[in-house]
Chain A
Amino acid sequence: MNSKSNKEVLLVKDLFKGFGDNKVLNGFNLSLFEGENLVLMGKSGSGKSVLIKCLVGLMPPDSGSVELLGQDISKLNHSEMNDLRTNVGFLFQGSALYDSMTVRENLEFPLRRHSKKLTEEETDTLVMEALENVGLTHTVDWMPEELSGGMQRRIALARALILKPKIIFYDEPTTGLDPITAKEIILLILKIQEKFKTSSLIITHDVDCARVISNRMLLLLDGINYAEGTFTELSSSNDPKIKAFFK
């Protein structure tokens, strides 16, 4: 499916995060290898989105370390973190397109902030190239509210890809989509992974998505990585807690 290496691009050690008495992450560990599609599954409210926000520095963990592309993110200042973020793409659960901007402006936004030396023509070429990757070049001047849910997800994917990141985090990429559109998004993620050789951490509770997309899977339960393995290994497990995920 893809060319996976043994080089770690993301390493999470003993991550703890809680909100008052509610302990969401209780010493979570994770490693993502170069070129790998790692699927993280967990029940609703199990802390998947909290985890992914800790990984990109949107939320500080209570303790533990996150090494992204070899750099401990807790030791980076704001400017170093911003530089690191150019190598990280993020697909939000609700797409998070800037609704006051057109599709073109949405895609230009990260480009203009990180590649200031680009000319108008170069910017335009990169925008059209990103839209071509997701098959939506005709929507370049549309506003986000004119796009369907699936289209918004694809545009958000194009925006996440525009800086050619080394790692992409997907926060429930198929949630809220009909089965056909969800399948299209899954295939698109695979196509993009093949083309750009990115490493991906996909957070989902969609079993079909996990089956098609994963090289390896992790199950998040009670704030820890409860089980790890390939889809086949985990889906054939006799542990009732693991079985519950695949019913």
Chain B
Amino acid sequence: MAYLLSLKQNIASFFMEIGEMSFFSLRFFKELFTKPFEFKELLNQCYVMGNKSLFLVGVTGLILGIVFTLQTRPTLMDFGAVAWMPSMISISIVREIGPVIIALICAGRIGSSIGAEIGSMRVTEQIDAMEVSGTNPFKYLVVTRILAATLMLPLLVIFGDFIALIGSAIVENMKGSVSFVLYFNQVFEALTFSDIFPATIKTFFFGFAIGLVGCFKGYTSKKGTAGVGKASNSAVVYTSMLLFIIDFIAVFVTDIFV
């Protein structure tokens, strides 16, 4: 009985949280189009999220490309299809693996840092101080961060995909003596608009989800350091789950229209 009661409470709080997050996102869209616009802070956040994530995304992309190629090569050799390697790798990375893996990395890097930063600002009354000084903290902290994440994630994914393809080309060059020029010729021959466009569109949604959940968890975090830790942690967990849901919907929709 107690288990059922606790299950009921958990389900109720889950739906309440979804409702609160929906209101939070509605408020984001409302504040997005009202003055004053915080351009300076938006640029600062783009720099923090974009530039400072480049190294992590680059390393992840390189390892992804190398490992993916090394793992796939023996199977393709068995079927005598190793010549298909550049097209197979590029389509897999551009359409699916690149966006999802890089978004997950960014959920850890960007989502958790947003959750922790805004959460600690809430706990230490910095958000109240901002409001008392006549600044709309939602606009200054939340709108700028969600927008920056939405704009920066597609760029990070494009960069990560490119580095992953370089990693793959390096392996092909070393193992199969395929020149870089030949490798990338085959890559660009294989990739079509229908591979790149839907994959890029979904990265905007990934970025929005990372920014939204991170900000929501931080902004609504409860008092105390435990609240900050929980905000940071649950920002990553919820975002990761949300990324797969968005990816599922995106693939489903793409499959219908393309």
Contact = CB atoms under 8 A, between A and B. Distances in A.
B131 interface: yes
A214 interface: no
Contacts of A97: 126, 129
Nearest to B132: A90
Query: In this complex, which of A53, A86, A92, A114 has the most chain B Cβ atoms within 10 angstroms of its Cβ?
Result: A92
A102 B8 CA distance: 48
A117 interface: no
Interface string B222-243: 0000000000000000000000
A94 B133 contact: no
Interface residues of B, number: 15
Interface of B: 117, 120-121, 124-126, 128-136
A58 B121 CA distance: 15
B125 A96 contact: yes
15 contacts: A53-B128, A82-B135, A83-B134, A85-B133, A85-B134, A88-B132, A94-B124, A96-B126, A97-B126, A98-B121, A100-B117, A109-B130, A110-B135, A113-B133, A114-B134
Contacts of A109: 130, 133, 135
A58 B128 contact: yes
A99 interface: yes
A56 interface: yes
Interface string A70-96: 000000001000110110101011101
A192 to B, nearest CB: 18
B126 A99 contact: yes
A93 B133 contact: no
A235 B131 CA distance: 37
Interface in A18-57: 53, 56
Nearest to B125: A96
Interface in A143-167: 159
Contacts of A110: 133-135
Given A83-B134, A85-B133, A86-B134, 20 more contacts: A56-B132, A58-B128, A58-B131, A82-B136, A85-B134, A88-B132, A92-B128, A93-B125, A96-B125, A96-B126, A96-B128, A97-B126, A97-B129, A98-B121, A98-B126, A109-B135, A110-B133, A113-B133, A113-B134, A114-B134
A85 B134 CA distance: 6
Nearest to A101: B126
Contacts of A83: 134
B126 A113 contact: no
Contacts of A99: 120, 124, 126
B135 A113 contact: yes
Contacts of B135: 82, 109-110, 113
A143 B110 CA distance: 23
Contacts of A98: 121, 126, 129-130
Contacts of A85: 132-134
A4 to B, nearest CB: 25
